[in-house]
Structure 1
Amino acid sequence: MPRLAQPAGSEDAQDPIGLLGNLVKAAILRYLRSNPDVTVGPICDALDLGPTTVQPRLNELEAAGLVIADPPMVPGESRKGVWVKYSADNEAITDLYLRLGLAIGEF
């Protein structure tokens, strides 16, 4: 089985790239930074993507602490039938951005 290449000195970039290394996730964060407290529908409409594409990424971003959901996700419990509102955690996103900048020598 092939091994993932990990260049020397890239350890600090792994988390930011893993969390933001997806165009859908980046677009969701960009949208939520300008449009807080929205449900999945408006996010899907704005990005021209379906809920089966957006919802799993929202869940990943929420689990990573980059998105705040109201009501929050509780492990083992379903939010089926509940209108969840999402917002960006701007402080966490800025921290991630700065960590990536440090990792690539920007700062």
Structure 2
Amino acid sequence: MPRLAQPAGSEDAQDPVALLGNLVKASILRYVRSHPGSTIRPICDALALVSTTVQPRLNELEAAGLVTSDPPWAEGTDRRGIVVRYSVNDEAVTDLYLRLGMALGEF
């Protein structure tokens, strides 16, 4: 028996829902989209969250191509002590939004 129920016809919504998955990720995207070039401290302050909550989600959003960083992240790279600025990949977020809308029957 599967762990999670998957309704018939829900395949199109699976990726968008998994990528956004929770309010923390959605809030990070909203903040960074309106404040491009933000570092982690202002993101954490604005969302009233600690960096140990925000950083892993930023990494997930970056790995999914929804957020970009300067300098870019590479697996195995240690960025301690380096100021990293985050921006939203507007094209990728728009694509995700459209895919979710189509899956929900909005478009």
Specify if TM > 0.5.
Answer: yes
Matched ranges for 1:58-97 at <5 A: 58-97=58-97
- Following superposition, the deviation at residue 68 of structure 1 comes to 0.5
Q: Which runs of 5+ in 1 are unaligned?
A: none
Tell me whether 1:100 sits opposite 2:73 in the alignment: no
Tell me whether 1:12 sits opposite 2:27 in the alignment: no
- Following superposition, the deviation at residue 2 of structure 1 comes to 5.2
Q: Secondary structure at the match of 2:80?
A: coil
- Following superposition, the deviation at residue 63 of structure 1 comes to 0.3
Q: Secondary structure at the match of 1:86?
A: strand
TM-score, structure 1 length as denominator?
0.96
- Return the alpha-carbon distance in structure 2 between the equivalents of residues 3 and 32 of structure 1: 34
Matched ranges for 1:24-35 at <5 A: 24-35=24-35
- Following superposition, the deviation at residue 55 of structure 1 comes to 0.4
- Following superposition, the deviation at residue 78 of structure 1 comes to 1.1
- Return the alpha-carbon distance in structure 2 between the equivalents of residues 88 and 34 of structure 1: 9
TM-score, structure 2 length as denominator?
0.96
Q: Secondary structure at the match of 1:55?
A: helix
Q: Secondary structure at the match of 1:53?
A: helix
- Following superposition, the deviation at residue 76 of structure 1 comes to 1.6
Q: Secondary structure at the match of 1:25?
A: helix
- Return the alpha-carbon distance in structure 1 between the equivalents of residues 38 and 21 of structure 2: 23
- Following superposition, the deviation at residue 3 of structure 1 comes to 2.1
- Following superposition, the deviation at residue 47 of structure 1 comes to 0.5
% identical aligned pairs = 73
